[in-house]
Amino acid sequence: MSDSAPPKRSRRWMLYAPLGLAAAAGAGFYAMLQGLQDGSYNPRGVPSVLLGKPAPDFSLPALEGVGLPALASADLRGPLPGPALVNFWASWCAPCIIEHPQLMRLSREGVAVYGINYKDRIPEAGAFLQRHGNPYRRLGRDEPGRTAIDWGVYGVPETYLLDRQGMIRWRWAGPITADTLENELRPLLRRYA
Amino acid sequence: MKRWVFFCLLLALPAWGAVGDPNERLPDPAKEALAREIGRELRCLVCQNQSIEDSDAQLARDLRRLVRERVAAGEDQTAVIRFVHERYGDFVLLRPPVTAATMLLWATPILALGGGIAVIMFRRRRALAEAAALSPDEAKRLAELDRGAA
């Protein structure tokens, strides 16, 4: 721009447009950073397509040697006596160990926790429950991982909350820490009680 | 020359590795090609910047097997991709569908091209305008040069 004459009025927006764009982008990034911090935004998170839908059809065998009944989708159809959790886990999964005390706590409080043992060996899975306790009412064994694919599971642990009608209301990918339990899960359990 | 070819082949070695376990492949080469094409459209959800064809994650292997089973059963590309999409949502598609949320993503090339054209047009117009307006000094100097050349 020649500096002798001030820019014409009609072109002034060209000066402010980049500024506005930068401000908008800045606000967007700020919101993303905030979301990353409080956990509401996860760029690597895969949103579940099952939210608001019943559990997909499946029927899994029991895990031998632990004395728990098997699990099938029929067990998760409403009306249920209360909200229920379906937890995908494996003995080889380290975050599952972190999560286990929270599941034990919920189970002691009377929340129905159902388990799906993912791609595991029978003796190891049994030993895991012996060592860390058993929070599950029923436990299905998904050795080929096909049921997990039907649920849209992409890693263990993963946990789903079903309301009394058997509709999936919440999915948590990763371990349920004490923090997750208090801040995310408890309010939902109250809401769907 | 021979050495050079060998070197190039050596460089291409990782690409051979990506083809995957030979006993995963379908016996029918046409169906295997279709399965591979489908697999390249699907994101591995564990190592998220790879397709399931390129990834060595357990889940990617399971999905590859699932794709091959459905292709072997005679399903076409749309049906297989729909099956996986119904379970994992838009995120699994490496080519995301055009929705309100992905509008900006898809529009970016057009916006960038339009912006570039706008900048070029603006500059050309300005260049023309400036060329038209010679200061009196410049006009005088130009006239002198003209006279000198004549």
Q: Mark yes or no for CB contact B48/A44 under 8 Å.
A: yes
Confidence of residue A1 (pLDDT cuts 50, 70, 90): very low
Contacts of B66 in chain A (CB under 8 A): 146, 149
Phi, psi for A123 (deg, rounded to 5) = -60, -40
Q: Is residue B53 part of a domain?
A: yes
Asked if residue B5 has pLDDT above 90, the reply is no
Angle in degrees, 0-180, between the axes of helices B29-41 and B58-72, rounded to the nearest 10: 130
pLDDT of the residue at B119: 92
Q: Is residue B108 part of a domain?
A: yes
User: Following CA atoms B28, B30, B32, B34 in sequence, which dihedral angle do they give, to the nearest 10 degrees?
Assistant: -150
Phi, psi for B33 (deg, rounded to 5) = -65, -40
Tokens of A67: 């004395």
Q: Which of residues 109-168 of A touch B (CB under 8 A)?
A: 119, 144-146, 149-152, 154-155
Q: Mark yes or no for CB contact B89/A49 under 8 Å.
A: yes
Q: Cβ(A140)–Cβ(A71) under 8 Å?
A: yes
**CATH number assigned to the domain covering A59-191:** 3.40.30.10
Same domain, B53 and B123: no
- When divided into structural domains, chain B yields a total of 2
Question: Letter for the amino acid at A1?
Answer: M
Q: Mark yes or no for CB contact A154/B62 under 8 Å.
A: no
Q: Mark yes or no for CB contact A152/B88 under 8 Å.
A: yes
B17: CATH: 1.10.8.640
The pLDDT tens digits for A127-183 are: 999 999 999 999 999 999 999 999 999 999 999 999 999 999 999 999 999 999 999
pLDDT of the residue at A121: 95
Q: Is residue B97 part of a domain?
A: no
Same domain, B79 and B145: no
Same domain, B35 and B63: yes
Same domain, B136 and B86: no
Q: Is residue B12 part of a domain?
A: yes
Same domain, B86 and B113: no
Confidence of residue B18 (pLDDT cuts 50, 70, 90): very low
Of A52, A43, A61, which Cα lies nearest the Cα of A141? A61
Confidence of residue A7 (pLDDT cuts 50, 70, 90): low
Asked if residue A15 has pLDDT above 90, the reply is no
pLDDT of the residue at B12: 58
User: Which residue in A has a C-alpha nearest to residue B86's C-alpha?
Assistant: A49
Number of helical (H) and strand (E) elements in chain B, helices listed first: 7, 0
Global ipTM? 0.77
Same domain, B69 and B21: yes
By residue range, what is the domain housing residue B26? 2-92
